[in-house]
Homo-oligomer: A and B are copies of this chain.
Amino acid sequence: MRDALVAAAFRLFPERGYEQTTVDDIVALAGVGRRSFFRYFPSKEDVVFPDHERCLADMTAFLYAGGDDVEPVRRVCDAARLVLLMYAENPTFSVQRYHLTKQVPGLRAYELSVVWRYERALAGYLRARFAGLRDGILRADVIAAAVVAAHNNALRAWLRSDGEGDAETTVDHALGHVREAFGTAPAPGVSGGPEDVVVIVSRRGAPLWRVVQELESALGRG
C-alpha cells in the first residue's frame, strides 16, 4: 500500500511536476482512496521521503550501539557515513528525489526539517558524550552541524554525478576535514583528507625549541 502510493507518486512527479500533481491524482493512479494516502503519509511532502523515519532510527541505533570507548567525533562521522550509504543503496530514487527537491522550494524546506532531525540526533549523542565537559553542549552542536554540512557536501556531489561517483571516498574525504578541524585525525591511509597535511597544536607558553622538535617529528624529519 505504502509502496504502491510511493510508486504512483514517483511516476507522476517527473511528468507533471510535484506541485501540479494533486493527492487525488496519486490515489487515483494507485487505485486507493484519498483517505488512505493520509493514513500512511501525514502530508504530501512525506511521500517524497518515505524511508526517512526508518533511516533516522537506524542511525540513532548505530550511534548508541557502540560503547563509550569509541571516540565520539569518529562515531558521529561514521554515523553520517552510514546515512550516505543508505542513500547510495537506491541511486536512481535518490537522484530522482534530488532533482525534485532542487527545484521545488516547498520540498527543499521540508528536506531541511528532515536533515535537522539527523543533526539533532547527532548533537544529542555528542551532548551526552560531552556531558560535564566545559562548553560540552556548544561543542556538540557545532560538531554536529559541521558533520552534517560535510555529509551534505559529499552527498550533493554524489547526487550531481547521477549516482555514478564514488560515494564512500567522497564522504570520507569530507568528514576527514571535520575530524581534522576538531582534533581527531583520520586514521592513516584511510583516505580521509590529504595525507600530506599535519596539524601541530602548541600552547603559546611552550618553549620554541620544544615546538620545533614536535614539528620536525610530526613532519618525519626528526
Contact = CB atoms under 8 A, between A and B. Distances in A.
* Interface-centre pick from A134, A204, A219 (highest chain B CB count, 10 A): A204
Nearest to A105: B113
A130 B33 CA distance: 53
A221 B108 CA distance: 50
Secondary structure class of chain A's binding surface, majority of residues: helix
B200 A196 contact: no
How many copies of this protein are present in the complex? 2
A59 interface: no
A208 interface: yes
Interface stretch (A5-13, A47-55, A90-98, A137-145): A137-145
A62 interface: no
Contact of A138 (B153, B199, B204): B153
